A and B are shown apart, each in its own frame.
Chain A
C-alpha cells in the first residue's frame, strides 16, 4: 500500500512537471528545412544572395533549349525527334493523322512548357533579381544598373520565345504575378521586347565600365564585361528588329553588337552544361548508340544540301544503322544524327556571329542594298566552302539565298530558326511534310492554364 502511494506520487509529480516543463501542446512553427525563403532576398539581400540570383537567372535562361530545338526544329522540319517510348513525340509534334495544336498540346502541356511557362519563369527570375539588387545596400548604384541591365537583356530574349511559339498575342506586363496584363498582338509584343532591350542598354550605359560586378559562368567568356553584355543586348535587338521588319534598326543593332565580319562565326554567348549538380547538354546523343530515342536530321535537309558544304560535314553524322520508330502513323527512320557536340557537357550557343551576319545580309537585301547583302552572304558561303554567291541580286532571289543559308548555318539551333523564317516570310509551305504526312503548324493557341486563369479571376 505504501509502495502504491509512492508510485502514485511519482507519476502524478512526473505528469505535472512534464506538463509545465515541456507542454506537449506547445508546437513551434516549422521553417523550411530544405530551402531559404523568397522573402529572404526581397529586402537587404547580401551580395552573395544577389550572386545566387544572378546564377539562378543563368540556370533558368537555358531551360528552353531542348523544346526549342527538338520541338520547333520538328515544326520547321529541321529535325525529327524519334522516341519509341512515346509515339506522341512523332504523331503529335508532326501533326500526323489530323492532329493539330490545342491548348494543352503534347510536349507543351496546359502551361505551354519550357518555351512559355519556362520563359516567363526566367522573366520572373530576372524581376526578382532586379528588385533584390534594387533593395539592398550591398551593391553600389552602378552595380545595381549592371545587374538591372543584364536582367532586362535576358528577360527580353525570353519574351521572344512565347512570341514565336504562339506567333500571336502574348502577355507582356507580368510584373504582378496574380494580375498579369492583357495579351498584346505579336508585333506589339516585339516592340515591347525592343523597348525592354533599350531599357537594359540604358542601364548598362549607366553601369560604368570593366567587368560585370558579379560572377557569370564560362558561357559569357568574352562577354562578361559591361561592354560585352551591351553587345549581346544589341545582338538580341538585331534579331528582334529583323522579326519586326525594321531593317535599318536591325543594321544599326548589328553594328553595335558583337558582329565581326572577319571573326569566328561561332563567337557568341553560350549556355553551359556539365555533370551533376549541373545539367547535361540535353541535345547530346552518343554516336551510333543503339537506342530508340534520338534527334535525327530531317530528310529534306539532307536532300537539299549543296555539294561540299562544310556545315553538312561538321553538323551531321551518318550512323552505321538508322534509328527507326513506328507509330500508328507509320514508321520513321533517321540515318543522320547531330554531330555538333563532343560531349554531354558541351555548351550550346544561343546567339552567334553567323546569325548576325545573316541578319545584316537580310536587312541589306530588304533595303535594296544588294552588294552589301551579297558581301555578307559570301562570308557565310566561303566559310562553308561553297564559294561566292552567283545568283540574281533581286530582293526575292537574295531572300531565297539567305533563307537557304540560314537553314544550314543555323540548323537545329535552340530557336527553331527555320520555323520562324518560313512564317515571317509567308513561306510556310516551304516546310516539307511529305516524309511524314504531317501538318505545318503556324503557331499555338493560348495555353489552357492561361485561359483558365482569366476564367478564375473573371478577367
Chain B
C-alpha cells in the first residue's frame, strides 16, 4: 500500500513538471464512498489556495484550475479521511473513492480560541461527540442528558426525573468545594447561560434555599437535535486558553451548518411514551401492624379505615397512582439546509412536547434556528448563528418540603395505603390527611398546584474571518467573533387557597411569580499567523476576549388569595420576595504558539491573562500558561514494517485555569430589614473579602493514543493529576463577632484519575459492520491542604450524613452519627464516600443486512454512596416496602431497626449506589432508495424508520428510584442526596424521518 503511494507521488511529480506549461484546465469527476454510492457535498480544494468547489448530488464535480498551479486537489468530507489527489494527464471522469474515518483522526478539534487541530495531532484527551452519537440512537430531552456514558471522566447527575432537565456535570472529579463545579458551556462561540435559576419552589414548599428548587439548568433549553458536535475539554491542561471559568472544564457545542449542494429538506417525527424506570412498592397494612405502629388512642380509627378500604376495595398503591402514568412524548423537526459555494444555510424548527409520568407535569420546547455562512469575497467570510428558544416546563412537586405537604414522595411516605385520598365524587372535596407526615392531600397538590417556568431565549453568534494576506508559505488572518445569550425566565409557583395546608394558614393561598433576566455577551478578536519554516509549520495566534454577564431577578409573592386567583394584586398579603441584580465584566488576552513538524511532533505553548470584576483586585491579571507535546511515532517511520501498529502517539499536556469568584464576594454590605413600617439597615452577616483570589487549578495529563490494524482498533489511555489551590470556602468567624462568615482561599485539592477507551470495528463485511467502544474511568480526590479548622458541610447535618472537610481525606467522605468524641473523622463515624470506584460504558453500533442499523449504550458504575433520605421518610411513615418484616426475628420490625447497629445513626441512610443501566438503544431501518424512488417518483429521497429507548433498563441494589439522583441539584459535594425525587422515566420512541 505504502509502496504504491510512493510510486504515485513520484509519478505525479513527473507529470507536474510536464504540466506546468499548460494553460488553465478543467478537472471533473465523481466522488463515491467505499460502497460506490455517490457522495455529495464533498469539499474539493486546490491545495494551498482558495480555489475550490463541492461535489453535487450525484457526487460529480468540476473545477477549473489556473495554469501554473500545483494541480493537487484535496477532498474533504466530515466522517471521511481527507484525500489529496494529484491531477495527472487524466482531467475528466476521475473517480475518487473516499475512505471512512473510523478513527476520527482527521476530525478537527478546538485547541486555541481561534485555531483548530486534527485529532491525530492532539496532545490532550479531548472527547468529541458527534450528532450521531449524541442523538442518533434515541431522542433525549436535553443536550446534557445525551452525554451520559459518553465522556470518560464525567460524573453526571440529575435532580430527579422531572421533565425539562436539572442536570449537572462534573469532569475529572471536583475543582471546587463550593458552588456547583459545572463546566463552562460555549455554544458556537457564545458563553452560554447554564445557571440553575431560582424558581422559588423551595420557598413555597419551605424546603429551604433555592438549591432545593429542583430547577432546571438552562442548558435544558438547547435543542439537542441541532447540535453537530460537542467537544469536551475535561481539565485545565486542555482548557487553559479559556482562563477564568475553565477550571471545571469546557464543553464546546457546535450547531449544524448547511452544505453546498442541493437543498435538503428533512422532516422527522418521534412519537413515544414514558413510564417510570423503577418503582419500589409500598408496604401493606394489617391490623397487627396498625397495633404496632399507632398509639393506642389512634388504633381503632385506623382499623376502621383499614376494614372500610378492604370492604370497598379502595386500598391504593400511591406510588402507582402518582408515578405510574403513561407519558406521551412527541418531537417534530423540520430542517432545510443547503447553499452554494458562497452561501450556506441551515434552518431548523423543532417542537418538543413531552409529558412527565406525574400528571400535570411536562416539557415543551420550541426552537427556531438559522445558521448562515457567507463568503463575501475571496478573503472575507462571515457567519451568523441565531436561535430563538421557548421552553415551558411543569416540574410538579417532589423532593424536600417542610410542613407544607407540597411534595408527593414526602407526603405518601406517611400515608397508609388504606387511606382514601381521592376526592368525594359528589362534592369534589379532597379528604384531609391526618398522619404523622405533612398535613396535606398530595392528590390535591398534584391536581391543583402549579410549578411552571417559561423561558424565552435568544442565542446569537456572529463571526468574521478575514484573510489579511497570503503568500506561498505564510498567511495572516483576523478572526472576530462575538455573541449574545439572552434568557428571560418567568416562573410561577401556586398553592391554591383550598388546599389543606393553606386552610391552616393565617392567609390561605400562596403564589410566587418570578422574572429572571440574564444577558451574557462576549467578544473575541484574534490574529492568526501561519508560516512554514523548513519542515515545520508554525501557527501563532494572539487576541483578546471580553465577557459581560448581567442578571436581574424579581420575585413577588401573594398570600391570602381571592378564590382561584394568581395575580398578586388579588392577595391579602402582597410582598416582594426578592430583587437581585448582578453584573460581572471580564477581560483577557491570549497568545498561543503551535509548531508542527510534518505531523510527527506537535507542540503547543500558550498563555492567557484574565481579570474579573468579581476578584478582590478587579484590575489584576492572572496568568494561565499551558504547554503540550505529542509525538506521532508512526509518522516518524518507527513502525513502518509493522502490520499491527498503525498509530502510536505518546502525549503530554500541562495547563492552568481558574474558577471564578462568585459575584458579591468582595462586598461588605448593609442589608435592608423592615420592621413596624420602617426601613432598617444592618450589616450583612457575610463579610466581604476584598483580597479574594480566584480558585486555581493546574493539571498535568499524559497518555498514549494508539491505532492497530490500520486503525481499525484504537486505544486511548490518559492519566491526569489535577491540583487546585486557593479553593474558595466559607471561613466561619466567631459567632460573637456579629458576623457569620467570610470567603477564604485556604484550601487545596488533588484529583488523580485514569481514563481508558478502546474502540474499533469488530466486524466489517459487505452488509455487516459492528463498531464497538468500551470506556473505563476513575477519579480520586483528597483535600491536600486546609487552612481553616476541619469542618463538616453539606446535606442535613451529622444525624443524616454530611461531608467531612479535613486535610488528608477526600472531601466526599460521608460522616455522621454516632459521634466519636475526639476521634473518628471530625468527631464522627465515617459511613461512606460519594465517589464511584470506577465507571465503565459500552457503546455499540451495528449496520445489519437489510438496511438496518442497531445501536446501544450501557453503563456500569461501581461503588459510590448516596445519602438516601427517602428511606428515612418512608421508614418514619411505616410505608417502606417490607417495613413490617423482621429479618433478625427480634420482634422489632425492619423499618424500626435498620442496620448497622445500634440502629439509630446516620449510617442507615448511606447506601451503595452501584448500578448498571442500559441507557440508550435504537433500531433504525432505511427504506431502500430504489423503493422511495418508485413510490414517490423522486420527491422523497430517503425514509428512515426506527424505534428506540432511553433509560431502558437498570439493575441496582440501591433502594431508590435512581442512584444518580441529587436533591440539591448541581453542587460539588452533596450531589448524592436522595429525598423523595421525581422517578426517572423510561422513554420508548418510534421514529420516522423523511428527506426530500
The 7 A-B residue pairs with the shortest CB-CB distance in the complex, in nearest-first order: A124-B738, A217-B676, A276-B575, A289-B504, A55-B680, A56-B680, A35-B669
Check B819–A56 contact: CB distance below 8 A: no
* Complex CA–CA separation, A217 to B614 (angstroms): 38
Chain A residues near B684 (CB, 8 Å)?
35
A325 at the interface (CB under 8 A from B): yes
Check B505–A286 contact: CB distance below 8 A: yes
Interfacial residues, chain B to chain A (CB-CB below 8 A)? 294-295, 297-298, 376-380, 401-403, 410, 414, 432, 434, 436-439, 464, 466, 468, 478, 480, 500-501, 503-507, 523, 525, 544, 546, 557, 573-576, 579-587, 589, 611-614, 618-619, 664, 667-685, 687, 731-740, 788-789, 791, 797-799, 819, 876, 896, 904
Check A106–B585 contact: CB distance below 8 A: no
The contact of A35 among B377, B379, B670, by CB within 8 Å, is B670
Shortest B437–chain A CB gap in Å is 6
The contact of A344 among B506, B673, B788, by CB within 8 Å, is B506
Shortest A168–chain B CB gap in Å is 14
Q: Beyond A27-B585, A58-B676, A343-B506, is A88–B500 a contact (Cβ under 8 Å)?
A: no
Check B667–A35 contact: CB distance below 8 A: yes
- Residues of A352-368 whose CB lies within 8 A of B: none
* Complex CA–CA separation, A87 to B436 (angstroms): 10
Check A177–B403 contact: CB distance below 8 A: no
Chain B residues near A455 (CB, 8 Å)?
789
Check B675–A278 contact: CB distance below 8 A: yes
Chain A residues near B687 (CB, 8 Å)?
177
Check B732–A111 contact: CB distance below 8 A: yes
Chain B residues near A25 (CB, 8 Å)?
544, 546, 587, 589
Chain B residues near A92 (CB, 8 Å)?
799
- Residues of A in contact (CB 8 Å), total 104
The contact of B735 among A215, A217, A275, A450, by CB within 8 Å, is A450
Check B676–A272 contact: CB distance below 8 A: yes
Q: Beyond A36-B669, A85-B401, is A52–B680 a contact (Cβ under 8 Å)?
A: yes
Q: Beyond A27-B618, A39-B668, A111-B740, is A280–B799 a contact (Cβ under 8 Å)?
A: no
A38-B670, A121-B685, A290-B504 are known; give 14 further A-B pairs, CB within 8 A. Answer: A4-B379, A40-B670, A41-B681, A85-B438, A122-B738, A124-B738, A274-B676, A289-B504, A290-B432, A292-B436, A293-B403, A333-B295, A344-B507, A450-B735
Q: Beyond A292-B437, A343-B506, A449-B732, is A33–B581 a contact (Cβ under 8 Å)?
A: yes
* Complex CA–CA separation, A78 to B896 (angstroms): 30
Chain A residues near B618 (CB, 8 Å)?
27, 29-30
Name the residue on B nearest A30 (C-beta): B613
Name the residue on A nearest B673 (C-beta): A59
* Complex CA–CA separation, A83 to B876 (angstroms): 13
Name the residue on A nearest B584 (C-beta): A30
Residue of A3, A30, A85, A128 contacting most chain B CB atoms (<10 Å): A85
Chain B residues near A330 (CB, 8 Å)?
295
Name the residue on B nearest A177 (C-beta): B737
A53 at the interface (CB under 8 A from B): yes
Name the residue on A nearest B611 (C-beta): A27
A246 at the interface (CB under 8 A from B): no
The contact of A449 among B504, B614, B735, by CB within 8 Å, is B735
Chain A residues near B736 (CB, 8 Å)?
120, 162, 170-171, 174, 180, 450
Residue of B432, B677, B738, B797 contacting most chain A CB atoms (<10 Å): B738
The contact of B676 among A39, A40, A60, A278, by CB within 8 Å, is A278
* Complex CA–CA separation, A409 to B478 (angstroms): 83
Check B379–A59 contact: CB distance below 8 A: no
Name the residue on A nearest B298 (C-beta): A324
Check A328–B896 contact: CB distance below 8 A: yes
The contact of A34 among B379, B580, B677, by CB within 8 Å, is B580
Check A452–B613 contact: CB distance below 8 A: no
- Residues of A411-449 whose CB lies within 8 A of B: 447, 449
Check A215–B678 contact: CB distance below 8 A: yes
Shortest A456–chain B CB gap in Å is 5
Interfacial residues, chain A to chain B (CB-CB below 8 A)? 3-4, 7-8, 11, 15, 24-30, 32-41, 49, 51-60, 62, 83-88, 92, 97, 102, 104, 106, 110-112, 116-117, 120-125, 127-128, 162, 170-171, 174, 177-178, 180, 215, 217-219, 272, 274-280, 284, 286, 289-293, 321, 324-328, 330-331, 333, 343-344, 447, 449-450, 452-456
Check B738–A123 contact: CB distance below 8 A: yes
Check A121–B677 contact: CB distance below 8 A: no
Chain B residues near A57 (CB, 8 Å)?
680, 682
Q: Beyond A24-B546, A286-B506, is A32–B737 a contact (Cβ under 8 Å)?
A: no
Chain B residues near A26 (CB, 8 Å)?
587
Chain A residues near B432 (CB, 8 Å)?
290
Q: Beyond A292-B436, A453-B734, is A37–B668 a contact (Cβ under 8 Å)?
A: yes
Check A4–B576 contact: CB distance below 8 A: no
* Complex CA–CA separation, A376 to B894 (angstroms): 58
Check A121–B504 contact: CB distance below 8 A: no
Q: Beyond A59-B674, A277-B576, A292-B437, is A121–B739 a contact (Cβ under 8 Å)?
A: yes
Check A326–B876 contact: CB distance below 8 A: yes
Check A35–B583 contact: CB distance below 8 A: no
Chain A residues near B504 (CB, 8 Å)?
286, 289-291
* Complex CA–CA separation, A11 to B613 (angstroms): 30
24 A–B contacts, CB within 8 A, in A order: A3-B377, A4-B379, A15-B525, A25-B587, A29-B613, A32-B667, A37-B670, A55-B679, A55-B681, A59-B675, A59-B682, A85-B438, A104-B797, A117-B685, A117-B740, A121-B682, A121-B739, A170-B736, A171-B734, A276-B574, A276-B576, A343-B506, A452-B788, A453-B732
Chain A residues near B501 (CB, 8 Å)?
291
* Complex CA–CA separation, A318 to B739 (angstroms): 42
Shortest A414–chain B CB gap in Å is 15
Chain A residues near B677 (CB, 8 Å)?
217, 274, 278
Check A84–B737 contact: CB distance below 8 A: no
Check A291–B403 contact: CB distance below 8 A: yes
Check A452–B739 contact: CB distance below 8 A: no
* Complex CA–CA separation, A26 to B682 (angstroms): 34
Shortest A158–chain B CB gap in Å is 10
Residue of B401, B673, B684, B789 contacting most chain A CB atoms (<10 Å): B673
The contact of B734 among A51, A180, A290, by CB within 8 Å, is A180
Chain A residues near B788 (CB, 8 Å)?
452, 456
Chain A residues near B733 (CB, 8 Å)?
177-178, 449, 453
Name the residue on B nearest A40 (C-beta): B670
Chain A residues near B378 (CB, 8 Å)?
4
Check B613–A85 contact: CB distance below 8 A: no
* Complex CA–CA separation, A8 to B380 (angstroms): 9
Q: Beyond A15-B525, A30-B583, A58-B675, is A324–B739 a contact (Cβ under 8 Å)?
A: no
Check B734–A7 contact: CB distance below 8 A: no
Residue of B437, B438, B682, B734 contacting most chain A CB atoms (<10 Å): B734
Chain B residues near A37 (CB, 8 Å)?
667-670
Check A110–B732 contact: CB distance below 8 A: yes
Chain A residues near B670 (CB, 8 Å)?
35-38, 40-41, 52, 56
Check B735–A84 contact: CB distance below 8 A: no
Chain B residues near A333 (CB, 8 Å)?
295, 297
Check A124–B737 contact: CB distance below 8 A: yes
Check B676–A219 contact: CB distance below 8 A: yes
Shortest A188–chain B CB gap in Å is 15
Q: Beyond A24-B544, A36-B669, A278-B674, is A290–B503 a contact (Cβ under 8 Å)?
A: yes
* Complex CA–CA separation, A284 to B378 (angstroms): 77
Chain B residues near A110 (CB, 8 Å)?
732, 791
Q: Beyond A11-B466, A35-B684, A58-B676, is A178–B583 a contact (Cβ under 8 Å)?
A: no
Q: Beyond A33-B581, A35-B670, A291-B501, is A56–B439 a contact (Cβ under 8 Å)?
A: no
Name the residue on B nearest A83 (C-beta): B403
* Complex CA–CA separation, A280 to B379 (angstroms): 68
Check B735–A112 contact: CB distance below 8 A: yes
* Complex CA–CA separation, A34 to B678 (angstroms): 19
Chain A residues near B586 (CB, 8 Å)?
27
* Complex CA–CA separation, A59 to B557 (angstroms): 21
